[in-house]
């Protein structure tokens, strides 16, 4: 059992952990959650003894081995398999001693112990773990020095998994994994034979791999049984008991009214919001709503709308050398309201494909057709380094609005989610999540037609990820997402493209089909015929969705015309209000007051009728899309 008893820890004057207590039984898999900066990584250091609390105790059974991913990734000339095998120090020591031992009794003891720890299968187990994390046979035999930093961290992860400590501590292990590696790790942790304590912002990982959640909030530790969704529901139930229910209900009604007021004239946004909610229908009502302290993401609507497709590829090849294309035979199209998730292991060309679509990489052959003035917003993690470290969020916005007033620049900075206390903080002092928020705001600053997100969630906590999902649901343009976050993909996309075998093409299935393919191999599942049936049904759904989009084009046109009429009527009502508010009107010609009042009433009635028409048309569109989806 891991027993954290009345532990207290401060960083300077800040009380980070305040008399916190929790007990975790042996063999349990537990997720440790809390907002960024709450002290989760600090708690890990307390558990390992790297730092000491000012009071309290942390205890584990005396013979337990505690393991975590090495802070420094391996970088020597040893092969990957050798590095992983060396992580089991007992196995390595016994194997070395077996080479030199001469005493028959000691030799017998060594061989008995090697049999006990299943040493004969050690190399096969190491290779299996490395394969699950994305290393093929050739890579496993190669040196660590040939790998990039992210891939070396995978080797470090493989090493600690192979060592099988009694208490495995994992701090955001998916940050350097792709979706395929994340799916494999999810399955591995669920089967792990010892205790696991896992820090993660990956909601699906916390739902699938753990059987309990420890929440670190306000310096306290609270244990919840079950996965993240169960924790979220139980936490909100506790909150409902701790605060006045009426106040919460009033706040929720105000939130919903603000939503209606904001999007009542924008059918595409309203539909996207509902679509996002449908995608998360498996969650309890309200479970996916971000905490009130999390500011929303806001992506401006496209300034100009183009007829679909907005991007069309015909027999395109792309790469970095004319004679070595990374991808070829690309024949795909992107419509103005598409939501596309890119699947495929790291190294298969997903980022290359994203750069092609974004116009940052020219095709080697074939044609890519797009409107000349199509606005594409592109976000990738490496761009975080492109922020000027000395410039604040306000400075970055000021560069884009050189002629605007101070008030307007600060208002625009605030709209990105930066409070008055944060908008003047230099970028070098912002957290990873705040940098990502700033970069997303800068990328979408002009109102993009197409938003490309390459691993957008690495520095976001769970509530911020939910805020991102909501923003994508509200966004009126097309979206392409590369992410290891399965929950983000399931909640935000309705089409999947697989980048593999030197090309990209439609994946005929859903995320669950892809998960089975990753874990069990292409064409395999619980039964041999199940994937084909699933793929066929998925293909039928996608064809029906495409047909529905085409069939609803006239309906969409009517909705846009009605929206324009409502905006026109609103402006006319505002002008009438201005005239009626002028005292001179009543003094000069009282008869005009009656006429103006009647005219305004007519405008109000016309607006009410237009609103009813818009609601009816929107409902008809929603029903058509539901039937088509």
DSSP line for 165-213: -SEEEEESGGGG--HHHHHHHHHHHHH-SSEEEEE---HHHHHHS-SEE
Farthest CA pair distance, the chain: 119
Tokens 């976001």 sit on residue: 460
- State residue 403's pLDDT score: 86
Dump strand ranges (E) for 515-628.
Answer: none
Percentage of residues of the chain with pLDDT beyond 70: 84
Name the pLDDT band for 445 (thresholds 50, 70, 90). Answer: confident
pLDDT at 282: 40
Q: Are 176 and 154 in contact (CB under 8 A)?
A: yes
The answer on pLDDT for 509 being more than 70 is: yes
pLDDT band at 518 (very low <50, low <70, confident <90, very high): confident
pLDDT at 331 over 50: yes
Convert the pLDDT of each residue in 232-260 to its tens digit: 888 887 767 666 555 655 665 565 555 45
Which residue shows structure tokens 């979206």? 479
How many residues are recorded in the chain?
629
Mean pLDDT check: name the lowest of 36-50, 107-121, 262-276: 262-276
Of 402-416, 519-533, 604-618, the one with minimum mean pLDDT is 519-533
Q: Rounded mean pLDDT of 513-520?
A: 85
Q: What token pair was written down for 320?
A: 């970095």
Query: In this predicted structure, which of 196-210, 254-268, 300-314, 528-542 has the lowest mean pLDDT?
Result: 528-542
The pLDDT of residue 255 is: 55
> Which pLDDT band holds residue 125 (cuts at 50, 70, 90)?
confident
Mean pLDDT, rounded, for 114-132 = 82
Q: Which position has the higher pLDDT, 260 or 129?
A: 129
Q: Model confidence at 523, in pLDDT bands (50, 70, 90)? A: very low
pLDDT tier, 421 (very low <50, low <70, confident <90, very high otherwise): confident
Q: What does each C-alpha distance from 323 to 99, 349, 367 come to in angstroms?
A: 50, 16, 17
Residue 280 has pLDDT above 50, yes or no: no
List pLDDT tens digits, range 97-118: 777 877 888 888 778 887 776 7
pTM across the whole model: 0.67
Q: What is the pLDDT of residue 31?
A: 94
Mean pLDDT of 78-91: 83
- Give tens-digit pLDDT for 557-600: 788 788 788 888 888 888 887 787 777 776 677 678 778 888 88
Classify residue 79 by its DSSP letter. Answer: B
Residue 277 has pLDDT above 80, yes or no: no
CB 364 within 8 A of CB 438: no
Which range among 148-162, 390-404, 410-424 shows the weakest confidence by mean pLDDT? 410-424
What is the b/e burial string over 494-503, where b = at least 16 CB atoms within 10 angstroms of the residue's CB? Answer: bbbbbbbeeb
DSSP conformational letter for 143: B
Nearest residue to 490 (alpha-carbon basis) of 512, 506, 516 = 512
Please check the confidence at residue 622 and state whether its pLDDT lies above 80. no
- pLDDT at position 533: 37
Return the closest-CA partner of residue 308 out of 57, 552, 104: 552
Confidence grade of residue 480 (pLDDT, cut at 50, 70, 90)? very high
Output the average pLDDT for the chain.
81
| Position 2 pLDDT exceeds 50 | yes
* From 56-65, 81-90, 195-204, 348-357, the region with the lowest mean pLDDT: 81-90
Pick the more confident residue, 596 or 292.
596
* Predicted pLDDT of residue 342: 93
pLDDT single digits (tens) 367-397: 999 998 899 999 987 777 778 889 999 999 9
């Amino acid at each position: 059992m891991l027993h954290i008893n009345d532990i207290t820890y401060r960083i300077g004057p800040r009380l980070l952990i305040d008399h916190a207590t929790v007990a975790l039984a042996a063999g349990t898999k537990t997720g440790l959650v809390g907002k960024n900066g709450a002290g989760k990584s600090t708690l890990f250091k307390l558990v390992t003894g790297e730092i000491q609390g000012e009071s309290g105790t942390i205890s584990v059974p005396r013979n337990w081995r505690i393991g975590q991913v090495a802070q420094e990734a391996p970088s020597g000339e040893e092969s990957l398999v050798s590095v992983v095998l060396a992580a089991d120090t007992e196995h390595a020591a016994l194997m070395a001693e077996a080479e030199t031992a001469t005493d028959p009794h000691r030799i017998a003891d060594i061989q008995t112990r090697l049999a006990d720890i299943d040493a004969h299968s050690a190399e096969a187990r190491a290779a299996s773990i490395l394969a699950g994390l994305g290393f093929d046979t050739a890579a496993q035999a190669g040196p660590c020095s040939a790998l990039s930093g992210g891939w070396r961290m995978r080797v470090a992860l493989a090493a600690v998994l192979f060592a099988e400590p009694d208490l495995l501590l994992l701090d955001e292990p998916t940050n350097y994994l792709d979706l395929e590696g994340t799916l494999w790790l999810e399955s591995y942790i669920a089967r792990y034979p010892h205790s696991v304590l896992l820090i993660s912002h990956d909601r699906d990982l916390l739902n699938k791999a753990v059987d309990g959640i420890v929440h670190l909030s306000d310096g306290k530790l609270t244990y919840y049984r079950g996965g993240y969704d169960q924790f979220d529901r139980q936490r909100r139930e506790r909150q409902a008991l701790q605060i006045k229910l009426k106040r919460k209900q009033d706040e929720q009604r105000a939130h919903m009214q603000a939503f209606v007021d904001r999007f009542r004239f924008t059918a595409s946004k309203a539909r996207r919001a509902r679509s996002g909610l449908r995608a998360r229908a498996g969650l309890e009502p309200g479970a996916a709503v971000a905490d009130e302290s999390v500011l929303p993401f806001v992506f401006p609507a496209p300034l100009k709308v183009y007829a679909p497709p907005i991007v069309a590829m015909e027999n395109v090849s792309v790469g970095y050398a004319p004679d070595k294309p990374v991808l070829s035979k690309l024949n795909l199209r992107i419509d103005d309201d598409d939501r596309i998730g890119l699947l495929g292991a790291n190294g298969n060309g997903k980022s290359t494909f994203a750069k092609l679509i974004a116009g940052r990489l020219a095709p080697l052959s074939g044609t890519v057709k797009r409107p000349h003035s199509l606005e594409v917003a592109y976000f990738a993690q490496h761009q975080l380094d492109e922020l000027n470290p000395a410039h604040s969020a306000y400075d970055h916005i000021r560069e884009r609005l050189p002629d605007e007033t101070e008030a307007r620049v600060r208002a625009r900075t605030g709209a990105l989610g930066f409070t008055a206390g944060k908008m003047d903080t230099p970028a070098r002092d912002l957290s990873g999540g705040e940098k990502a928020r700033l970069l997303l705001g800068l990328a979408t600053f002009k109102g993009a037609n197409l938003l490309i997100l390459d691993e957008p969630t690495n520095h976001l906590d769970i509530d911020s990820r939910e805020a991102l999902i909501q923003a994508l649901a509200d966004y009126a343009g097309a979206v392409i997402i590369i992410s290891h976050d399965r929950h983000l993909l399931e909640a935000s996309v309705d089409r999947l493209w697989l980048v593999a075998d030197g090309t990209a093409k439609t994946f005929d299935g859903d995320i669950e089909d892809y998960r089975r393919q990753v874990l069990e191999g292409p064409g395999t599942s619980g039964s041999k015929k199940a994937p084909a049936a699933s793929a066929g049904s998925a293909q039928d759904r996608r064809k029906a969705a495409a047909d529905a989009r085409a069939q609803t084009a006239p309906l969409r046109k009517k909705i846009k015309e009605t929206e324009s009429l409502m905006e026109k009527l609103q402006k006319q009502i505002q002008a009438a209000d201005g005239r009626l508010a002028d005292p001179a009107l009543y003094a000069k010609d009282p008869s005009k007051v009656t006429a103006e009042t009647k005219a305004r009433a007519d405008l109000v009635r016309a607006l009410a009728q237009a609103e009813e028409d818009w609601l009816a048309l929107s409902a008809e569109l929603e029903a058509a899309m539901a039937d088509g989806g």
